[in-house]
Chain A
């Protein structure tokens, strides 16, 4: 984008793709799919001290149909896997997925009959935030990475 001043009024030039990306990256409606202890860290990040609303992501929607980003927070078991897939399928395009915590990234320290070894075996993932649980700074870092990704991708309209 560039700002150009011509006499008495100002205007900006941009490309449609950039403008839509700018709008989308600062209006992330998230669906928190919280299943385990990482949820506490998610709450810490969402609350006033770290304030995820600074990044335009302060508005959790508890209906997948109204959400843009699926935050998968906590261990996903085999029994939960079809539910997660169903929630992902219900979300409207454009949609993104954040794997929050090491359990959702790789299965974490679980190596047993019940746990899914990373949610990317079920649904595509855009940003991985490892940690057990990740600190809020780490979460915000991941959120900014997601914003970069949203800004720079080709915007489907």
Chain B
């Protein structure tokens, strides 16, 4: 039984599906309980995922087989157990909102700001959800597939 199956067995209420990617186990989690799920995975001594290595979003706009447009991917690692797990959460275009995990891992703070900046994913409960790479007057979210790659925005002048 691999890591993803163990996680599903223990937290079946919060997991919707399993997958794998390049030999790494992937757990597809339910959006509603994502924060509790992450907090449990961190606290659980069987898994003890104490390190959030990465958090990012993917836009599947042109993938017809995908029912929901966005996927948020959490890359978890355990420094004590030396194992890794990818967790995906799918959200719809009409409501790209899910709970912030910045309270579970402080590292999520800037990752979630980046996902908001680039994809427009809103993380409710985030302490300071504003743009991190682009400037505040930027319109839109540039890594969304429907943002034209050659779209230009006005050059901003000195700010003060």
Contacts and interface: CB of A to CB of B under 8 A. Distances in A.
Interface string B119-160: 000000000000001110010001000010111110111110
A121 B155 contact: yes
Contact of B156 (A78, A112, A117): A78
A82 B149 contact: no
Contacts of A81: 155-156
Interface of A: 78-79, 81-82, 85-86, 89, 111-114, 116-117, 121-122
A111 B153 contact: no
B26 to A, nearest CB: 30
B158 A78 contact: no
Interface residues of B, number: 16
A86 B134 CA distance: 19
Contacts of A89: 158
Contacts of B158: 82, 85-86, 89
B150 A82 contact: no
Contacts of B152: 113, 117
Contacts of B149: 111-113
**Most chain B CB neighbours (cut-off 10 Å) among A81, A113, A114, A122:** A113
Nearest to B151: A113
Given A111-B150, A112-B150, A113-B147, A78 B155 contact: yes
A121 B155 CA distance: 9
Nearest to A117: B152
Contact of B142 (A113, A116, A122): A113
B6 to A, nearest CB: 42
20 contacts: A78-B134, A78-B135, A78-B138, A78-B153, A78-B155, A78-B156, A79-B134, A79-B135, A82-B159, A86-B158, A111-B149, A111-B150, A112-B142, A113-B134, A113-B142, A113-B147, A113-B149, A113-B153, A116-B155, A117-B152
A123 B159 CA distance: 16
B144 to A, nearest CB: 11
B154 to A, nearest CB: 9
A122 B155 contact: yes
A89 B159 CA distance: 13
**Most chain A CB neighbours (cut-off 10 Å) among B133, B150, B151, B152:** B152
Contacts of A82: 156-159
Given A82-B156, A113-B147, 6 more contacts: A78-B156, A82-B159, A86-B158, A113-B142, A113-B151, A117-B152
A55 B151 CA distance: 42
A86 B156 CA distance: 12
A114 B142 contact: yes
B159 to A, nearest CB: 6
